[in-house]
Amino acid sequence: MNAFEYASPQTVQEAVELLGPGWQDSAVLAGGTDLLSLMKDGIVSPRRLVNIKRIRGLDRIELIGDVVRIGATVTLEQLLRDATIAARFPSLTQAAAGVTSPQIRNMGTVAGDLCQRPRCWYFRAGFGILATGPDGEPLVPAGDNRYHAIFPEGQAYYVHPSSLAPALIALEATVEIHGPQGTRELPVEELYRIPGSNNERELNLGPREIITAITIPANGVKNATYEVRQRQLLDWPLATASVALRLSGRKVVSARVVLGHVGPRPRRATGAEAVLNGAELNEQRIEAAARAAVQGARPLSRNGYKVQLAQVAVKRALASLA
Amino acid sequence: MLKADFLKTAWPEPGKRIWIGKEVNRIDGVAKASGRAKYTYDINRPNMLWGKFLICPHAHARIKRIDTSQAEAIPGVRKVEIVQGEGSEIVFHGDEIALVVADSEELAVDGVRAIKVEYEVLDHVVDETNLDQIPRGNRRPGGRRRTGNVDEAFASPEVVTIEGQYGIPMITHCCLESHGVVAEWTGDDELTVWISTQNVSGISGQLANALKIPAGNIRTICHFIGGGFGSKFGPDRWGILAAKIARELNRPVKIMLDRDHELLSAGTRPSGFARVKLGVDRKTKKVVAWESTLWGTGGPGGGGTSISVTPYIFTRIPNQRREAYNVRANVGPRRAWRAPNHPQGAALTMTALADAAAALGVDELQFFLNNVDLTDRPDVYTQELLIAADLIEWRKHWHPRGESGSGPLVEGLGISMHTWGGRPHNSQALVHIYPDGSVDVQLGSQDLGTGTRTVIAIVVAETLGLKPEQITVQIGDSRYPPSGASGGSTTVGGVSSSTRRAAVDALEQLFEKVAPSLGVEPTDLVARNGRILSKSKPDLSVSWKRACRTIGMEPITGQGRQPDPEDQPLASQGVGGVQMAHVVVDKDTGVVRIKRFVAVQDCGLIIDLKTAKSQVYGGVIMGIAYALYEECVHDPITGRRLNPNMEFYKLPGIGDVGEIIAHMMVGKVTVTAPDGRKITIDYDEPGVIGLGEPPVISPGAAISNAVANAIGVRVPRLPLTPDRVLAALAGKGGLA
Amino acid sequence: MAEKQRGRASDRLRSGISRRDFLRGSGALAAATALRTATEAAAAPAGAASVVGPGPVPVTLTVNGQTHRLKLEPRVTLLDALRNHLDLTGAKKVCDRGTCGACTVLLDGAPVYACSVLAIDAQGHKIETVEALSPDHPMIQAFVDHDGLQCGFCTPGFVMAAVAFARQNPECSEEDVCRGLSGNICRCGTYVGIREAVVEAARKMRGAANA
């Protein structure tokens, strides 16, 4: 880990002022579970870390009217234990529980979960976010892509590792972002982007911006997350599905289905949603929705199995609500 | 000193054992669990420097240029040593290029990052799964064997032929304490090294050549070692460099490998792949013919799985034709890995046998029982198969392959069998009895986690009529009498033999001192429950402490050695073992879970039943690890290892191993064979036999067989990951 | 089309925010829009959080009830501070990437990976390492009684994770233990003993002082 400056501001405003204009200038430190590893591996070497854990008020979960507001530095463990979340958003509780290490849950924050970098082993070995070889050629399609995207986008073959993002997207959550020019809000769905080069990031977030909170409308949708993981030990999911259904009896008024770990950003399965919208939630519909969810998948040489896993995840997530 | 010789060294009779064979807590357990035990990694010396290596990021490359000037310019960097200089050919990802020694760990890392190396990248071979696609130059013949007449056997109309292909990939040791050393000079030619080693008595000699000082001037210390598994026998490049640079800079130097470096460079287990053809007699259901092509890689030097272990155990198949190839690949070099070659042998043999049983529609247990006479120990295996079958409830849970119901969750059972030598290694021991009654024992041995300290304490306590906690065990220092390296399950047999003899020798001397004060002959005395008693006059006794007052000023020193040509053997070799797995497979996701795992194991006379069982649990869990999770993944394009970390080099967690039952074969065991014959075996009779290796051999095969039984098809290679299970279910199983 | 989207996305990145996403912030925040480089910010006047490092800076750690004043670079992890500066070597360095749990210590009672916490960040928190436990602590004793250890290198990390778990779950089952200790890895294969040990120790710890 290269040497760096460190600051621990008490307000969001101070924190924003402490951040520099380029990614190499500074980084926001929350749980540190990913950032410190990236720095040890020399994948990022920011000259300054700005710790946001001492900023008051960012570590709370609040129900304000019909909106649940989750502070950026709320830990995964806090999220997992929160009764408001468990009652309204079991899909979030389930996703947090999927991070099976208590240590990671105690350290890792919800904003950190959204902003963590992909685990692609080419990226982590220094080949860049797009995993390109010495001549700029993409390494993933001809390489070992067993954990990579079945819905690659552009030149991006990694999968986004966030545990919470698929559930948050299904729940129509929004991130609150502070930057030099004030505050803005962004649907979690729009937080992710496809980098055009190895110098770009995979988030629609500037180097001087900080996620301060996540807000979720508490509008009574039934929701669930199902993760396919090989180990009970802390392990990355192979595919996940988060679903949120507005039901009228057994009839689906509207559905949101989001796949995780299948592409460089959490993937809205609009095909599956279309199958469910207006239909009765039964076994046949669930099967059809699961099939539709993976339609158009373009698996790579070694990850065809993930198409089935994603399908199973959708099926099981929906079945848990039926 | 007059050496008396009136006490027998033979192990006490079954009814007379106080400690031997009981469940005794490990005597260093508290030190380890409380964090007080000091491992090599924990040694901090005044004024100590840290060393870190720059490793090669390419699988195969030539070094064109190295520029260390920027590293050398960093304040606090004391030395930059080029390990492999310009022009060197590097043959695997992770090999050492340069070493930076600096005032702190952080500065050493800064130094490593500041070194500029220019490589000419060369072609690599990192995929050995397809034998036909391996370049000629990387493929070396590994032997041919022929027995009987295979062609005739296969041609017989009485013989059913079954073909299959099987694989077990390269894995690594992943010792939690990485390899490393702290070197400190205490004089111009006097060196102390703390080193994480399985070979306390053997390091000094290896270092002496490199350092050109007398071996006796080098003190090797390893009080605790955080895992070795066969990878820690030598001083290694880092040991020699640490010592040399410590001498040059006149400061202690510590080098511990970073995790990626450890996983890449500090040893691998060779892969094994085989195409197998089996012939089974239609009527007798006996295996009559075996034909196999075996290959694998042990790294850049070639080497792989040995032809001598395939077929494994069923060596008496009458007709055999076997050929083997060693693949030289640009992957981490091999080192001994717990039970070298045997897990591969089992994974390539027991699977083929189970496939034959399934193809013939025979119960797998019946098939193995029916063929045990093709092994070297049919009676042992018959007993162990039947006991294991009871423990896993074979009759209740077995079903023909694939007939496991319609839901996504299916269950299955599988079997494997194994053997190991476990002869005692050479060992010398000193037992001191002091006038104050205290007792210590010294051996230049090491405790890998086996329970070696505890075993030594038990043997001394048993011999002297004391309690294990009254014995101070001193090991882990080359100043003590030499013992062999801990490899191949040789330690417990070796140290228990030498310790027993040393303790008996010491006790004889004590008896000679005590006898006159009691007015009896030394031969009339026994030591029991902390007292010295007369056999002829039961009322006559003296406490241990009082007895020791007769010793005088100098302590008694008892000496023992293994082997001792003047004494009967106390240890032996040759064990069997049977394991059975009960798995649950999610056919929709391909995720395999262990429901129950049974390990039945013999290992001669057991000294400490508690740590012996732990060896079995540990072997099984390491086996579950390579059956379901572990493999070194290499990038076909760059040749790099893609998972040199503990995130993607996957090991099981506490919730991933299911219920494990360890059943030790102890004392006289009688079992009725399927043919009605009563088989009785005294498992204690051969004396002590090592145990570390055998339980790790079978899990790969047993679990693979259980999965095949559950899902109806063979997943051809380990580990049994979801992608491979689903591919096999889709009829696309292969060796990749 | 893809080309265009990418163009838009990078515009957005360059400006930090897009017009559409912009929401007017509170007065205080809206006023604080000065764009400064990292170096300028480093020289920020009093009132702003002080920037320290990259050289050694005073760091005060409260470990096992004792206060330690150290001078550390901000990049020094809590694990390295404990091991290399305080000679508290019970927490082990194994993966150094927040995966294996061998470095587990308690921060205000909660288990964390010391390799992934900066020492400077651990200031003001109550840090407990395995050295805080008396050797006759019920958890240590249970690990020994059930032989939940072999080489012992993962053991202190397991013990600390187990102590934190047991304090919260005195009536735990082996299944609970499997869930509660899924942040630690053992290589020797001691899980059978650990499961039994934690169930037993959790019950014993409930009545015990200093557990």
**pLDDT at position C209:** 61
Q: Which domain holds residue A271?
A: 222-319
pLDDT per residue as tens digits for the range B462-499: 999 999 999 999 999 999 999 999 999 999 999 999 99
Does residue B588 belong to the interface with chain A, where contact is any CB pair within 8 Å?
Answer: yes
Residue A311 burial (CB count, 10 A): 24
Band (pLDDT 50/70/90 cuts) for residue C40 is very low
Cβ of A179 within 8 Å of Cβ of C77? The answer is no
- Among A185, A217, A249, identify where a domain stops: A217
Q: How far is C74 from chain A (nearest CA, A)?
A: 6
CA–CA dist C112, B101 (Å, integer): 30
State yes or no: pLDDT of B445 exceeds 80: yes
Does residue C19 or residue B325 have the better pLDDT? B325
- Specify whether A129 is located in the same domain as A232: no
- Specify whether A113 is located in the same domain as A138: yes
Does residue C176 belong to the interface with chain B, where contact is any CB pair within 8 Å?
Answer: no
Nearest to B225 among C73, C151, C186 (CB): C151
Q: Do domains C57-131 and C133-207 have the same CATH topology?
A: no
State yes or no: pLDDT of B255 exceeds 70: yes
Among A residues 161-180, those touching chain C with beta carbons less than 8 Å apart: 177-180
- Specify whether A132 is located in the same domain as A212: yes
Mean pLDDT (whole number) for B683-699: 97
Residue B210 burial (CB count, 10 A): 14
Is A50 inside any structural domain? no
pLDDT per residue as tens digits for the range B195-224: 999 999 999 999 999 999 999 999 999 999
State yes or no: pLDDT of C22 exceeds 70: no
Find chain B residues with C-beta within 8 A of A142's C-beta. Answer: 636-637
**pLDDT at position C12:** 34
Q: C-alpha distances in angstroms, B285 versus A202, B161, B278, B702?
A: 61, 12, 12, 20
Cβ of C99 within 8 Å of Cβ of A14? The answer is no
Cβ of A228 within 8 Å of Cβ of B589? The answer is yes
Find chain A residues with C-beta within 8 A of B591's C-beta. Answer: 228-230
CATH number of B40-122+179-256: 3.90.1170.50
Cβ of C32 within 8 Å of Cβ of A185? The answer is no
**pLDDT at position C8:** 36
Does residue B177 belong to the interface with chain C, where contact is any CB pair within 8 Å?
Answer: yes
Cβ of C17 within 8 Å of Cβ of A200? The answer is no
Does residue B676 or residue B4 have the better pLDDT? B676
- Specify whether A153 is located in the same domain as A254: no
- Among A217, A235, A262, identify where a domain stops: A217
Find chain B residues with C-beta within 8 A of A100's C-beta. Answer: 653, 655
- Specify whether A204 is located in the same domain as A273: no
**Where does residue B546 rank: exposed (0-12), middle (13-18), buried (19+ CB within 10 A)?**
middle
State yes or no: pLDDT of B61 exceeds 90: yes
Among C residues 8-67, those touching chain B with beta carbons less than 8 Å apart: none
Band (pLDDT 50/70/90 cuts) for residue B551 is very high
CATH number of B268-422+572-729: 3.30.365.10
Among A residues 64-123, those touching chain C with beta carbons less than 8 Å apart: 77, 100-104, 106-107
Q: How far is B88 from chain C (nearest CA, A)?
A: 30
- Specify whether A204 is located in the same domain as A303: no
Among C residues 96-115, those touching chain B with beta carbons less than 8 Å apart: 96-97, 99-100, 102
CA–CA dist B99, B54 (Å, integer): 6
Least confident of B480-484, B545-549, C17-21: C17-21
- Specify whether A84 is located in the same domain as A152: yes
Intervals of chain A under pLDDT 70: none
Nearest to C112 among A47, A103, A154 (CB): A103
Find chain C residues with C-beta within 8 A of B257's C-beta. Answer: none
**pLDDT at position C7:** 34
pLDDT per residue as tens digits for the range C91-145: 999 999 999 999 999 999 999 999 999 999 999 999 999 999 999 999 999 999 9
For residue B670, the one-letter residue type is T
- Specify whether A293 is located in the same domain as A205: no
pLDDT per residue as tens digits for the range B373-428: 999 999 999 999 999 999 999 999 999 999 999 899 999 999 999 999 999 999 99
SS3 B401: coil
**pLDDT at position C28:** 31
Does residue B155 belong to the interface with chain C, where contact is any CB pair within 8 Å?
Answer: no
**pLDDT at position B4:** 56
pLDDT per residue as tens digits for the range B65-87: 999 999 999 999 999 999 999 99
Mean pLDDT (whole number) for B571-577: 97
CATH number of B424-562: 3.30.365.10
CATH number of the domain at C133-207, out of 2.40.100.20, 3.40.50.10610, 3.30.460.80, 1.10.150.120? Answer: 1.10.150.120
Total count of domains within chain A:
2
- Specify whether A211 is located in the same domain as A234: no
Band (pLDDT 50/70/90 cuts) for residue B736 is confident
Q: Of B548, B544, B549, B519, nearest to B531 (Cα)? A: B544
Band (pLDDT 50/70/90 cuts) for residue B2 is very low
Does residue B281 belong to the interface with chain C, where contact is any CB pair within 8 Å?
Answer: no
State yes or no: pLDDT of B447 exceeds 70: yes
**pLDDT at position B576:** 98
State yes or no: pLDDT of C42 exceeds 50: no
Q: How far from the centroid of its chain's Cα atoms is residue B682's Cα? A: 26
- Specify whether A230 is located in the same domain as A205: no
- Specify whether A177 is located in the same domain as A74: yes
Average pLDDT of the residues of chain B: 97
pLDDT per residue as tens digits for the range C153-196: 999 999 999 999 999 999 999 999 999 999 999 999 999 999 99
CATH number of C57-131: 3.10.20.30
pLDDT per residue as tens digits for the range B425-437: 999 999 999 999 9
HEC profile of chain A: CCCCEEECCCCHHHHHHHCCCCCCCCEEECCCCCHHHHHHCCCCCCCEEEECCCCCCCCCEEEECCEEEEECCCEHHHHHHCHHHHHHCHHHHHHHHCCCCHHHHHHCEHHHHHHCCCCCCCHHHHHCCCCECCCCCECCCCCCCCCCCCCCECCECCCCCCCCHHHHHHCCCEEEEEECCEEEEEEHHHCECCCCCCCCCCECCCCCCEEEEEEEECCCCEEEEEEECCCCCCCCCCEEEEEEEEEECCEEEEEEEEEECCCCCCEECHHHHHHHCCCECCHHHHHHHHHHHCCCCCCCCCCCHHHHHHHHHHHHHHHCCC
pLDDT per residue as tens digits for the range B509-531: 999 999 999 999 999 999 999 99
Q: Of B131, B134, B133, B164, nearest to B716 (Cα)? A: B164
Band (pLDDT 50/70/90 cuts) for residue C49 is low
- Specify whether A188 is located in the same domain as A104: yes
Is A112 inside any structural domain? yes
State yes or no: pLDDT of B634 exceeds 70: yes
Band (pLDDT 50/70/90 cuts) for residue C17 is very low
Does residue C111 belong to the interface with chain A, where contact is any CB pair within 8 Å?
Answer: yes
Does residue C187 belong to the interface with chain A, where contact is any CB pair within 8 Å?
Answer: no
